[in-house]
Chain A
Amino acid sequence: MSKKHSSDGAGHAEHPKWMQHHFDTPSQQFASSKMGMWLFLATEVLLFAGLFCAYTVYRANHMDMFVFGHQFLDVKWGAINTCVLLFSSLTAAWSVRAAQLGQKGLMIALLFITLLCGGAFMAIKYVEYSHKIHDGLLWGTKYKPAGHAAEVIHGEEAHAAGELGGAHGRVDEGHTEAEQVAGIEAAHGEGAAEAPAAGGDALATDGAQAAGAQAAAPAAQGEGVELPADVLAIDVAERSTTLPAAIGPRGLVPVAEEGHDDGHGAGHHWEGPIPDNVHIFFGIYFGMTGLHGIHVLIGMIILGWLIYRALKNDFSPEYFTPVDLGVLYWHLVDLIWIFLFPLLYLIG
């Protein structure tokens, strides 16, 4: 960067090298940087706000989709990750304190621990994601659940896609919640018009399964009327770790408990109609956690850069703005996860 002309015409006789020419005092510089960071964090929150908004809309209109979908998330890993991030926030905040007191070694160590926590978080996310990918529990067009229970899901979907519009009436019978009947707003109105082209796709691939599923479904469907109430009544932790047979397809019992390959036996399945379009839940899950994961990575890069600069002796009790701001960013990343965890893993 051209520092040539950034020297001040009036000239501050001597100032620390971190002091920029267009500020009058260090405290003005610090206050400006800090305000800039807070504003930037506001924009980050708003970036996520779009996804939170999508979450709210779909959850309000299709609660059952969320209740059904969330069982496949692993509360245990989610909770561990929450603890990891909370702990990392502690070390991060502490590193700022160390910077203020000029304890360089401690600051670097704490930043490093924070960085490690970030790494651990990503590693756990990697485990979770690979299970989802293995089970085909992905978004939109990539949603192809594997195993017996998955066939049930598929069957229902293919059927629904085939009839669309009309199909809603049938599926809705199984639900006690009023919004299921009423809440099919524009999405479905338009859906009926748009579907034949794209919906035909789902029908073609899943048609074969649909036939099988239909055979398995009737019993479940008959008694399925009470489903949402059942689901709501179940204790969160219990449901998520050891799925009662009546609630979840056994093949999708959390992988951490049983391993993900061996659970796809015959027998249990979700009682009552499987909600339409569960892939939307997974789309939102991957959208939110994916964007958050990218932010964790960015945060880790920032932490690495702070460690590098700290090693270069750039910081002192007089000047530690980057540490302060970098840690603020890290706190935001944590904070978003604190919202994501209950919203996605602990639906009840």
Chain B
Amino acid sequence: MNVTDTSITPTDLGGYASEEAESENFLSYPKGIMSWLVTLDHKRIGILYLICILTAFFIGGMFALLIRTELLTPGATIVDADTYNQLFTLHGAIMIFLFIIPGIPAALGNFALPLMLGAKDVAFPRLNLMSWYLWLIGAAFTVFSLVNGGADTGWTFYTPYSTQTDGAIISITMGVFILGFSSIFTGLNFLVTIHRLRPPGMTWFKMPLFLWGIYGTAIMQVLATPVIGITMLLLIVERTLGFGIFDPALGGDPVLFQHFFWFYSHPAVYIMILPALAIMSEIFSVFSRKHIFGYKFIAFSSIVLAILSFLVWGHHMFPSGQSELANFVFSALTFSVSIPTAIKMFNWLATMYKGEIVLKTPMLYALSFMFLFGIGGLTGLFLGSLAVDIHLHDTYFVVAHFHYVMFGGTVIAFLAGLHYWWPKVFGRMYNEKLGAIGAAIIFVGFNMTFLAQFVMGSQGMPRRYYNYIDEYTIYHHISTGGSFIMAIGFFLIAGYLLHSLLKGKRAPANPWGGNTLEWHIPSPPPYYNFKEAPTVGDPYDFSELEWDDRIEGYVFRKAEGSA
């Protein structure tokens, strides 16, 4: 606690009334490692998730660097071809199933959702803890495949290769199955929480848009994930018992596997992006100091996206031999997805228009999100066009597309959300200048890495290849260079965030001037969240908020009933 300005009372800092009351903050009460491991507090479970998914992100990131290094030159560079196959498989599986799907909902959402809703906890705290443990078990299975011979199918596990290769397919698919249940229980918990635990006055249209996004996400988590569950089970019995349903040699249909897989995995990409869009809706409004534009449109577009996401899976299978009619319909439906997406984009633009834009770190990430996700979404439309996709399918163009949406979209939004809620979660401010530098490095590194992949992809460089012809060398050089720059950015971010935990300035209750309920309570929040049911107002009305220089944060002009 390096408080230099003595004129400030502890009351203002973080918003606690007394030192004694402050010991009630959820980080310090109750104490002991066991109290964390069996905690039922959504905020603590959020932190447990955060630690885990960041670990997964680190491991997946290391694999990515190895992949990029290997691709620096044609032919063997640092690993052999089999190892390379395992690297991209594990990179994909870890990033998708361990990091990005649970990422925003389970880590940030667990922390923020009940607070923003004004609830004391999620509806089923024990189930919440259980899904964290399921995550751990699923992660163990997934990573176990690494030492158990490695999996080399790619994260899509396409049959018949996945039923024939010697790799450790069973453990990794078992991991995916278990992680699926972890995700289902998180979604189920959030759905019930949002339906049943809203305090008096929190009507559907008073809910912060983050909750609408998480709500749409939860629908997909609950309704799509069981299908990957059964798909993975079928794949396992196919391998262990010789089931034959997906095996063409036995009269089975491998394309059926692709249908099953994408029936989950396309909604899954919206499980990844919807929470990201949800964070954006908060940040654009708060950092433009302006009421969100088109609240209802944004809210409903989340639900529409959730529904449409179930209808477009076939766009991953245009060249698979599915019927032409199916191709046609899936292509048309794919285009329709861009409507709700664009609704959000334009509403954010309109929110910023004539706002007082505050370029703090979360907002820098938000702006970078708009740019990157814009490119990602638009190139998705290229891929959704039948004729174009025949050329681009399974090339680096697709790789670049989904990195622009998943990394440029979801990971950037995750970083935005992390920086946005960091002071609330840990009660510490990070170094703003380093935050801005980190965001800039990531932005530059990212574009270097993946713009180059658009170019080589459109020129025909296939994905998942170990070797390539010399003509592509220059693009691979750029791409690998960019990935190293990004790595530097991430180490910088990890550095200043960890540093802030130890040495950071105490965070005020409301550093950004948000008006959703979590900013009405101290930082870090007390373990019981709200002493009495909070008064619910318009979450995007900033007229009552005032910057206070003494505490370097915002205060509510009308005295609020904060704890």
Contact = CB atoms under 8 A, between A and B. Distances in A.
Contact of B251 (A39, A57, A276): A276
B247 interface: yes
B250 A141 contact: yes
Contacts of A58: 245, 253
B249 A199 contact: yes
A197 B248 CA distance: 11
A186 B317 CA distance: 12
A40 B226 CA distance: 10
Contacts of B35: 2, 4-5
Interface residues of A, number: 60
Most buried by A among B189, B223, B323: B223
Nearest to B160: A194
Nearest to A46: B226
Contacts of B29: 5
A186 B250 contact: no
Contact of A191 (B119, B225, B243, B248): B248
Interface in A1-50: 1-2, 4-6, 8-10, 20-23, 28, 31-32, 35-36, 39-40, 42-50
A21 B120 CA distance: 8
A53 interface: yes
A280 interface: yes
B243 A140 contact: yes
A48 B249 CA distance: 25
Given A1-B126, A5-B30, A139-B243, A35 B196 contact: yes
A155 to B, nearest CB: 16
A221 B77 CA distance: 60
Interface string A62-106: 000000000000000000000000000000000000000000000
A50 B254 CA distance: 14
B251 A280 contact: yes
A8 B125 CA distance: 14
B188 interface: yes
Nearest to B531: A10
B247 A186 contact: no
A186 B260 CA distance: 15
Nearest to A53: B260
A190 B258 CA distance: 13
B134 interface: no
Interface in B116-139: 119-127
B248 A195 contact: yes
A5 B122 CA distance: 15
A188 B192 contact: no
B82 interface: no
Contact of B250 (A50, A140, A185): A140
A57 B246 CA distance: 12
B38 A2 contact: yes
Interface in A157-200: 185-191, 193-195, 197-199
B468 to A, nearest CB: 26
A329 to B, nearest CB: 14
A321 interface: no
A50 B124 CA distance: 28
B532 A280 contact: no
Contacts of A189: 321
B528 to A, nearest CB: 3
B394 interface: no
A272 to B, nearest CB: 18
A287 interface: yes
Contacts of B260: 50, 53
Range of interface residues on chain B?
35 or more
Given A2-B30, A22-B120, A32 B251 contact: no
B242 A44 contact: no
B423 interface: no
B234 interface: yes
B192 A283 contact: no
Contacts of B234: 50-51, 54, 287
A84 B463 CA distance: 54
Interface string B24-55: 10000110001100111100000000000000
Contact of A187 (B226, B229, B238, B253): B253
Given A2-B39, A47-B229, A284 B528 contact: no
A279 interface: yes
A186 B123 contact: no
A277 interface: yes
B526 interface: yes
Contacts of B24: 9
A32 B230 contact: no
A193 B249 CA distance: 9
Given A22-B120, A186-B254, A46 B249 contact: no
A277 B254 CA distance: 15
Given A4-B35, A194-B160, A39 B192 contact: yes
Contact of A40 (B122, B164, B188, B233): B188
A197 B249 contact: yes
A9 B121 CA distance: 13
B126 A32 contact: no
Interface of B: 24, 29-30, 34-35, 38-41, 119-127, 160, 164, 184, 188-189, 191-192, 195-197, 222-227, 229-231, 233-234, 237-238, 241-245, 247-256, 260, 320-323, 526-528, 531-532
16 contacts: A1-B126, A8-B528, A10-B531, A22-B122, A32-B124, A45-B226, A47-B229, A50-B227, A50-B231, A53-B260, A139-B241, A139-B242, A140-B241, A185-B253, A190-B254, A280-B250
Interface of A: 1-2, 4-6, 8-10, 20-23, 28, 31-32, 35-36, 39-40, 42-51, 53-54, 57-58, 139-142, 185-191, 193-195, 197-199, 201-202, 276-277, 279-280, 283-284, 287, 291
Given A28-B197, A32-B123, A190-B254, 6 more contacts: A9-B24, A32-B197, A35-B195, A43-B188, A46-B223, A195-B248
